[in-house]
Structure 1
Amino acid sequence: MNNLLLLFFFLLGLIFGSFFNVAGLRIPLKHPFVNDRSACPQCGHLLSWHELIPFLSYIMQRGKCRHCGKAISFMYPAVELATGLLFAISYVMLGLNAEFLTALLLMAMLMILFVSDIVYMVIPNNILLFFLPLFILMRIVVPLEPWWSSVVGALAGVGLLALIILISQGGMGAGDMKLFGVLGIVLGLKKTLLTFFLATIIGAVVGILLLSFKVIHRKQAVPFGPYIVLAAVIAYFYGDSLADWYVAILNKSG
Structure 2
Amino acid sequence: MSLGLAIFLGILQGLTEFFPVSSSGHLALFGSWFGVHSEDMTFEILVHLATLAAIMVYFRKDWVQLIKIFLGRERGDFPPHILPYLVFSMVPAGLVGIFLKDHIQWIKNETFWVGACLIVTGVTLLFGLRVKREGVPMEKLDWLLVVAMGLAQACAVLPGISRSGSTIMCALFLGLHKQAAARFSFLMAVPVIGGAGVLTLKDLLEQEGTLSTDMLAAYGAGFMAALFSGFFALAFMMRLLEGRRFFYFGFYCIPLGILAMTL
Normalised to the residue count of structure 2, the TM-score between the two structures is 0.27
Higher helix content, 1 or 2: 2
Q: Between the two structures, name the one with larger relative contact order (CA 8 Å, sep ≥ 6).
A: 2
Normalised to the residue count of structure 1, the TM-score between the two structures is 0.28
Greater radius of gyration (CA): 1
